Amino acid sequence: MTLYQNLNPEQLAAVTLPHESALILAGAGSGKTRVLTTRIAHLIQTGQASSGSLFAVTFTNKAAKEMLTRLTAMLPINTRGMWVGTFHGLANRLLRAHFRDAGLPQTFQILDSADQLGALKRLLKTLNVDDEKYPPKQLQGFINGLKDQGLRADKIDAPDPWTRKMQQLYAAYDEQCQREGVVDFAELLLRSYELLLNNAPLREHYQSRFKHILVDEFQDTNHLQYQWLKLLAGAQAAIFAVGDDDQSIYAFRGARVGNMADFERDFQVAKVIRLEQNYRSHGNILDAANALIRNNQTRLGKNLWTSDHAGEAIRVFEAASDFEEASFIVDEVKALQREGVALSDIALLYRSNAQSRVLEHALFNAAIPYRVYGGLRFFDRQEIKHALAYLRLIGNPDDDGALLRVINFPARGIGARSLEQLQDIARQSGISLWQAAQRKLLSGKAGSSIAVFTGLIESLRSACADLPLPEQVEHMLAHSGLIAHYEKEKEGEDRLENLNELINAAAGFVLEAEPETEMLSLSPNSLPRGERDADSLREIHFTSELAAFLAHASLEAGEHQAIAGADALQLMTVHAAKGLEFHAVFICGLEEGLFPHENSNREKDGLEEERRLMYVAITRARRRLTISFADTRMLHGQLRYGIASRFLEELPPQLLKRINRAVPVFAVQPAFNPKPRETDSGWHIGQAVSHAKFGHGLIIDSEGRGADARVQVSFNDAGVKWLALEYAKLEPR
DNA sequence: TTCCAACTGTTTTTT
DNA sequence: ACAGTTGGAA
């Protein structure tokens, strides 16, 4: 049968396992996703499962999407209504369907990390807590760490006064969120876990429904996610878990590899299936990866092999500086291009984002197109955050975080003083800022600017009630003053474009079919349909569509950046590269302190995680792997001397080839390239000029065009200055 | 309210 | 080095 064609014996065994819980230890490049999707197809095709009894969970939206795409290619099934998604996405779905039972408002909103941090800062302020003694970031880590373990504030041991205070703040934060109708990422999971735990009819309903639970990247699950899965799996359910302990690189955010061993025990896994044949890399690359990872003590044990030949040696380059490292990589990339390798099939991997700058600079000067992954995401942009805050207020005016973001943006004369008054009222009466504003209006003491703001939100709210989603967004943008504000701002064009893109995103967003509407009647305290009049039904529809769109914005923040464009070199951190593969891979910055990172030895088993990270990096390469390190590097504005990473020494020397450049080191150009370059204004970089007041100098940079054009001039005596070409009388010399 | 200078904290990151 | 934030002055 075509479904099973080209599967190796282990893959076939995994795909056709009987109905029992199973653990598949799938090495890098061993066809993990293929096994997972073929297993689903197998279950459906043999009649063991209907699409409604399947529950498949991944970590990233990308992986979930990939699974659905492959599945529809294999089987003619309707994936709508199937429970396939990320942990957070599925938890969100559960909570939306049972918001009453979960104790949430229907329009509850999701806080991303930045929103959460903002909420915590606000909390500390209202409680008058010293944020130097209790840093918001630390509090955030404290709370999320505990939630990831399934622990509420009242369930923790606080042996010392400091921890007791943190515990108090945790409780206060949860109260604040509840009051405002918002949940953070960890709360999505914890809340849905508690929902199932405390609501027996609901739990039993889902337990009897989901007979087949499939989990991708199982090594990345945290304690709570595992508990969640255990709760969801009823007596007749089988969990099909796929993972690779050697690729566990998220311990720092709570991932617990120990879940794999617990799973074997808790679910009486009869035998673990190992997928060890690699279909991706040449032999030398695999041998290097295997040799490296053997240095880790805590492993389940696994050795990748390939029937492919050894291939090229792994290239190792020692650079005098980070600049030289970058220029070496540029040369190598050009050579690969000449060999006919597409730029999109070449990856430049680094340990930390800060390293990309030097590389980008060199690539830019060499005119090599490149794309950096993991930069600022679409939904993280300031203007988008502002727009979303208005939308959130339309859905739920009690959302203090959203209100604070836009109450004076664009500026409408509500300063710190009036805000403080509002916050006082809110604190004293335990109400939201929105309610405080209304109370103040009633008492007749509010400034007119506050009336303008509440009036604006009210009018947006009523205007949007009758509009389809994209027009709600459009209306909000036009009437909130956001568009007008960015039209005035001189560099606001990009922002306006992004705001327009938000309308497109809304137009492209289709409300997911609610397969669980019938479940609403299960909850005893849900409102019977008869009690809702037509108006409130319509209202509920518009708010829930909006709420779903906003949830989508929080949960899939990264998806919008993936615009497939022209052929470009791929730059990303090693973390971001997991799951991807390339013809050629460069791993740079292989220095002690950088990779492994110096902070890693502070954490327990930190070094082993760094080694797994290096293992992930190596196994991304299909054919050519180049590793480089630099003797000196600029770090935090200081020159640092480095030595080669211990990981280099853990690679078998016979697999390595030290290479030297054809170009002598002294020929390497420094960062500044003095070659003349035309600016938009007709002046060019490197041009000698003179100025009536500052004397002679050289143009070293330029920006803007037309009336805004400016050039940066390095004067012999007067130093470096930016000059507006419209005013400064520059003379060519 | 707005602007600029001083200060700070810089591992990885998805949701 | 550098970006983001905060505090004080205008």
Nucleotides of B under 7 A from a protein CB: 1-2, 10-15
Q: Which chain C positions have some atom within 7 A of a protein CB? A: 1-2, 6
What pLDDT, on the 0 to 100 scale, is given for residue A714? 59
Sign of CA dihedral A6, A9, A11, A17: positive
Residues lining strand B at under 7 Å (Cβ) are A 59-62, 86-89, 112-113, 137, 185, 252-253, 351-354, 374, 408, 411, 413-418, 555-558, 572-573, 575-576, 597, 599-600, 602-603, 636-637
Q: How far is the CA of A674 from the C1' of B10 (A)?
A: 31
Residue A131 has which token pair?
A: 């944020």
- Residue A599, Cβ neighbours under 10 Å: how many? 11
Among A103-112, A117-126, A541-550, A703-712, the range scoring the smallest mean pLDDT is A703-712
The per-residue pLDDT of chain A, averaged, comes to: 83
Residue of higher predicted confidence among A314 and A361: A314
Report for A189-193, A562-566, A596-600: range of highest mean pLDDT: A189-193
pLDDT tens digit string along A604-614? Answer: 788 899 999 99
Q: Which residue has the higher pLDDT, A427 or A17?
A: A17
Asked if pLDDT for residue A713 goes beyond 70, the answer is no
Examine the pLDDT at A469 and tell me if it is beyond 70. yes
Whole-number pLDDT of residue A357: 85
Lowest-pLDDT range of A389-393, A669-673, A707-711, A716-720: A669-673
Tally of CB atoms within 10 A around A18:
8
> Going along A532-662, which residue ranges are E strands?
569-573, 582-587, 621-635, 638-641, 656-658
Residue A114's pLDDT is: 84
- Protein A492 CA to nucleic acid C8 C1', in Å? 28
Would the Cβ of A602 be found within 7 angstroms of any atom in strand C? no
Q: Residue A108 region, left (φ>0) first, then alpha (ψ -120 to 50), else beta? A: beta
Q: At residue A304, does pLDDT exceed 70?
A: yes
Question: Residue A372 in contact with residue A571, Cβ under 8 Å?
Answer: yes
Give me the catalytic one of A93, A385, A392, A620. Answer: A620
Closest residue by C-alpha to C1' distance, nucleotide B14: A60
A635 CA, C5 C1': Å apart: 22
Nearest to A507 by CA among A479, A478, A537, A467: A467
Nucleotide nearest to A635 (CA to C1'): C1
Confidence label for A514 from pLDDT (cuts 50, 70 and 90): very low
- Strand segments (E) across A497-601: 569-573, 582-587
Nearest protein residue to B10's C1' (by CA)? Answer: A636
Q: How confident is the model at residue A723 (pLDDT cuts 50, 70, 90)?
A: low
Mean pLDDT of A121-141: 84
Q: Is the CB of A640 under 7 A from strand C?
A: no
Per-residue pLDDT band for A524 (boundaries 50, 70, 90) equals very low
Cis peptide before A596 (omega within 30 of 0): yes
State the nucleotide closest to A636 in CA–C1' terms: C1
Q: How far apart are CA A431 and CA A276, in angstroms?
A: 59
Given the residues A10, A148, A184, A217, select the one marked as catalytic: A217
Q: Which nucleotide is nearest to A121 (CA to C1')?
A: C5
pLDDT at A519 over 70: no
Least confident span in A186-200, A346-360, A402-416, A648-662: A402-416
The A 99-128 residues near strand C by Cβ under 7 Å are 121
Q: Are A512 and A548 in contact (CB under 8 A)?
A: yes
Distance of C1' in B7 from CA in A398, Å:
34
What is residue A674's predicted lDDT score, i.e. its pLDDT?
30
Active site residue A32: yes
The residue from A115, A184, A187, A216 that is catalytic is A216
A634 touches strand C (CB under 7 A): yes
Confidence band for A459, pLDDT divided at 50, 70 and 90: very high
Residue nearest to nucleotide C1 (CA to C1'): A637
Rounded Cα distance between A71 and A37, Å, is 6
Q: Closest nucleotide to A634's CA, by C1' atom?
A: C1
For the question of residue A276 being annotated catalytic, the response is no
A590 and A647 Cβ atoms separated by less than 8 Å: yes
pLDDT computed for residue A488 by the predictor: 77
Residue A441 banded pLDDT, cuts 50, 70, 90: confident
Share of chain A above pLDDT 70, in %: 84
Catalytic residue among A10, A11, A32, A221: A32
Q: Are A248 and A217 in contact (CB under 8 A)?
A: no
Across the range A527-548, mean pLDDT stands at: 55
β-strand A695-703 against A238-243: which pairing, if any?
Answer: unpaired
Predicted pLDDT of residue A553: 84
A522 CA → B13 C1’, Å: 38
Beta strands in A32-188 (DSSP E): 54-58, 83-86, 109-111, 182-184
Nearest nucleotide to A118 (CA to C1') is C5
| A114, closest nucleotide (Cα–C1') | B15
Residue A535 confidence class, pLDDT cut points 50, 70, 90: very low
Is the pLDDT confidence value at A675 over 60? Answer: no
3-state helix, strand, coil in chain A (%, to 5): 50, 15, 35
Q: What is the mean pLDDT of residues A541-568?
A: 71
| Residues 222-261 of chain A in contact with strand C via CB under 7 angstroms | none
Which residue's entry shows tokens 């609403």? A520
How many angstroms separate the CA of A445 from the C1' of B6?
A: 38
Rounded to whole angstroms, how far apart are CA atoms A424 and A440? 11
Q: How does residue A722 score in pLDDT terms, banded at 50, 70 and 90?
A: low
Closest nucleotide relative to residue A412's CA, C1' based: B1
Mean pLDDT of the region A295-324 = 90
Q: Examine the pLDDT at A521 and tell me if it is beyond 60.
A: no
Do A122 and A407 contact (CB within 8 A), yes or no?
no
Query: What is the SS3 string spanning A79-107?
Result: CCCCEEEEHHHHHHHHHHHCCCCCCCCCC
Residues 6+ apart with CB under 8 A from A17: A39, A240, A273
The answer to whether A676 touches A708, Cβ cutoff 8 Å, is no
* Separation between the CA of A131 and the C1’ of C9 (whole angstroms): 25
For chain A, percent of residues with pLDDT exceeding 90: 42
pLDDT score of A669: 39
Our measurement of CA A405 to C1' C7, in angstroms, reads 20
User: Residue A100 CA to nucleotide C6 C1', Å?
Assistant: 41
In degrees, rounded to 5, the angle at the alpha carbon of residue A711 between the alpha carbons of residues A709 and A717 is: 150
| pLDDT band at A5; cut points 50, 70, 90 | confident
Task: Give the pLDDT confidence score for residue A76 in this predicted structure.
Answer: 82
Model confidence band, residue A709 (pLDDT cutoffs 50, 70, 90):
low
Cα gap A228→A111, rounded to integer Å: 21
Distance CA A724 to C1' B12 in A: 41
3-state SS of A239-289 is EEEEECHHHCCCHHHCECCHHHHHHHHHCCCCCCEEECECCCCCHHHHHHH
pLDDT score at A451 = 87
pLDDT at residue A87 is higher than 60: yes
Kindly tell me if the per-residue pLDDT of A468 is higher than 50. Answer: yes
**Residue A676's pLDDT is what?**
32
Mark whether A620 is an active-site residue.
yes
Out of A33, A126, A435, A712, pick the active-site residue: A33
Strands A83-86 and A54-58: what pairing? parallel
Does the structure show a pLDDT above 70 at A395? yes
A230-256: pLDDT as tens digits: 999 988 899 999 999 999 998 888 899
**CA–CA dist A459, A605 (Å, integer):** 56
Residue A592 has pLDDT above 70, yes or no: yes
Does position A677 have pLDDT exceeding 50, yes or no?
A: no
- pLDDT tier for residue A718 given thresholds of 50, 70 and 90: low
| A712 pLDDT more than 80 | no
Q: Is A247 a catalytic site residue?
A: yes
pTM metric for this prediction = 0.81
Task: Please indicate whether residue A217 is annotated as part of the active site.
Answer: yes
pLDDT bin (cut points 50, 70, 90) of residue A527 is very low
Rg of chain A (C-alpha set):
29
Q: Name every residue whose Cβ is closer than 8 Å to that of residue A483 and which is 6 or more positions away in sequence.
A: A477, A496, A499
Q: Say how far A405 CA is from B4 C1', in Å.
A: 23
Beta strands in A588-729 (DSSP E): 621-635, 638-641, 656-658, 677-678, 684-685, 688-691, 695-703, 710-715, 719-724
Query: How far apart are alpha carbons A728 and A722 in whole angstroms?
Result: 10
Query: Is residue A582 over pLDDT 80?
Result: yes
Which of A714, A718, A716 lies closest to A702, judged by CA? A714
Element of type H or E holding A347: strand A346-350
Dihedral Cα A64, A69, A72, A75, nearest 10 deg: -80
pLDDT grade, residue A425 (50/70/90)?
Answer: confident
Q: Which residues fall within 8 angstroms of residue A150, CB to CB, at 6 or more apart?
A: A190, A193, A223, A224, A227
Cα–Cα dist A728/A314, whole Å: 55
Q: What is the mean pLDDT of residues A398-409?
A: 87
Per mean pLDDT, which range of A295-304, A369-378, A698-707 is the poorest? A698-707
| CA quadruple A544, A546, A548, A551: dihedral, nearest 10 | -130
The dihedrals phi and psi of A637, each to the nearest 5 degrees, come to 80, 5
Q: What is the pLDDT of residue A59?
A: 87
Specify the pLDDT at position A383.
85
Task: Write down the pLDDT at residue A725.
Answer: 61
